[in-house]
Chain A
Amino acid sequence: MFWRHALVSSVILASSASSSAAAQKPQPIIGLITKTETNPFFVKMKEGAKAAATARGAKLLSGAGKNDGDNAGQVTAMENMIAAGAQVILITVNDSKAIIPTIRRARANGVLVIALDSPTDPVTATDALFATDNYKAGQLIGQYARKALGTRSAKIATLDLLPGHPVGAQRHNGFLKGFGLAAPTASINTLGKPAEVVCMADSYGDQAKGQTAMENCLQKNPEINVVYAINEPTAAGAFKALKSAGKEKNVVLVTVDGGCQGVRDVGSGAIAATAQQYPLKMAALGVEAGVAFVHTGKKPSGYTDTGVALIAGKAIAGVESKDVKTGLDLCFGRK
Chain B
Amino acid sequence: MTSLKERLPSLGFIGPVLALLAACAFFATQTDRFFTGANLSLVLQQVMVVGVIAIGQTLVVLTAGVDLSCGMVMALGGVVMTKLASESGVPVPLAIASGIGVTSLFGAVNGLLVTAIKLPPFIVTLGTLNIAFAITQLYSGAQTVTDIPEPMTALGRTFALGGTSTVYGVVLMLALYAVAWFALRETASGRHVYAVGNNPEATRLTGIPTHRVLMGVYVMAGACYGIASLLSVARTGVGDPNAGQTENLDAITAVVLGGTSLFGGRGTVLGSLVGALIVGVFRNGLTLMGVSSVYQILITGILVILAVTADQLSRRGQGGR
Q: CB within 8 Å of B: which residues of A?
A: 37-40, 43, 66-67, 162-163, 199-202, 204, 206-208, 211-213, 215-217, 219-220, 233, 236-237, 240, 244, 261, 333-334
Q: A216-B288, A220-B287 are in contact. Are A211 and B235 (CB under 8 A)?
A: yes
Q: CB within 8 Å of A: which residues of B?
A: 31, 33, 38-39, 42, 45-46, 49, 130, 133, 137-138, 141-144, 146, 158, 232, 235-238, 240, 242-243, 245-246, 283-284, 287-288, 290, 292-294
A222 to B, closest residue via Cβ: B33
Across the interface, do A213 and B49 meet the contact criterion of CB distance under 8 Å? no
Q: Enumerate chain B residues within 8 angstroms of A217, measured Cβ to Cβ.
A: 287
What 18 new A-B contacts, CB under 8 Å, besides A207-B236, A233-B242?
A: A200-B290, A202-B293, A206-B242, A207-B144, A207-B242, A207-B243, A208-B232, A215-B45, A216-B283, A219-B38, A219-B42, A219-B288, A220-B287, A237-B236, A240-B237, A261-B143, A334-B141, A334-B143
- With the chains together, A163 CA to B138 CA distance in Å? 30
10 smallest A-B Cβ distances: which pairs?
Answer: A216-B287, A38-B142, A202-B293, A38-B137, A220-B288, A163-B294, A212-B46, A219-B39, A334-B143, A201-B287
Smallest CB separation, B233 vs chain A (Å): 10
Across the interface, do B287 and A208 meet the contact criterion of CB distance under 8 Å? no
Q: Which of B240, B284, B290 contacts A219 (CB 8 A)?
A: B284
Across the interface, do A236 and B238 meet the contact criterion of CB distance under 8 Å? yes
Q: Enumerate chain B residues within 8 angstroms of A38, measured Cβ to Cβ.
A: 137-138, 142
Q: Which of B142, B235, B292 contacts A208 (CB 8 A)?
A: B235
Give 24 A-B contacts (CB < 8 Å), ordered by A residue. Answer: A37-B137, A66-B130, A163-B292, A163-B293, A201-B293, A206-B242, A206-B243, A206-B245, A207-B144, A207-B236, A207-B238, A207-B240, A208-B49, A208-B232, A208-B240, A216-B42, A216-B46, A216-B283, A219-B42, A220-B287, A220-B290, A233-B144, A233-B240, A334-B143
- With the chains together, A206 CA to B232 CA distance in Å? 13
Q: Enumerate chain A residues within 8 angstroms of B39, measured Cβ to Cβ.
A: 219
Q: Enumerate chain A residues within 8 angstroms of B38, measured Cβ to Cβ.
A: 219
Across the interface, do A261 and B236 meet the contact criterion of CB distance under 8 Å? no
Across the interface, do A240 and B143 meet the contact criterion of CB distance under 8 Å? no
- With the chains together, A334 CA to B147 CA distance in Å? 14
A164 to B, closest residue via Cβ: B294
Q: Enumerate chain A residues within 8 angstroms of B238, measured Cβ to Cβ.
A: 207, 236
Smallest CB separation, B300 vs chain A (Å): 13
Across the interface, do B284 and A216 meet the contact criterion of CB distance under 8 Å? yes
Q: Enumerate chain A residues within 8 angstroms of B232, measured Cβ to Cβ.
A: 208
Q: Enumerate chain A residues within 8 angstroms of B246, measured Cβ to Cβ.
A: 204
Smallest CB separation, B22 vs chain A (Å): 20
- With the chains together, A200 CA to B294 CA distance in Å? 12
Q: Which of A163, A213, A237 contacts B287 (CB 8 A)?
A: A213
Q: A40-B143, A233-B242 are in contact. Are A208 and B236 (CB under 8 A)?
A: yes
Across the interface, do B33 and A220 meet the contact criterion of CB distance under 8 Å? yes
- With the chains together, A240 CA to B237 CA distance in Å? 8
- With the chains together, A200 CA to B292 CA distance in Å? 7
- With the chains together, A219 CA to B31 CA distance in Å? 11
Most buried by A among B38, B138, B292: B292
Smallest CB separation, A70 vs chain B (Å): 12
Most buried by A among B38, B133, B242, B294: B242
Q: A211-B235, A219-B33 are in contact. Are A333 and B143 (CB under 8 A)?
A: yes
- With the chains together, A267 CA to B141 CA distance in Å? 22
Q: Enumerate chain A residues within 8 angstroms of B288, measured Cβ to Cβ.
A: 216, 219-220
Smallest CB separation, A57 vs chain B (Å): 30
Across the interface, do A240 and B283 meet the contact criterion of CB distance under 8 Å? no
Q: Enumerate chain B residues within 8 angstroms of A334, measured Cβ to Cβ.
A: 141, 143
- With the chains together, A28 CA to B210 CA distance in Å? 61
Q: Enumerate chain B residues within 8 angstroms of A37, measured Cβ to Cβ.
A: 137
- With the chains together, A217 CA to B283 CA distance in Å? 11
B296 to A, closest residue via Cβ: A202
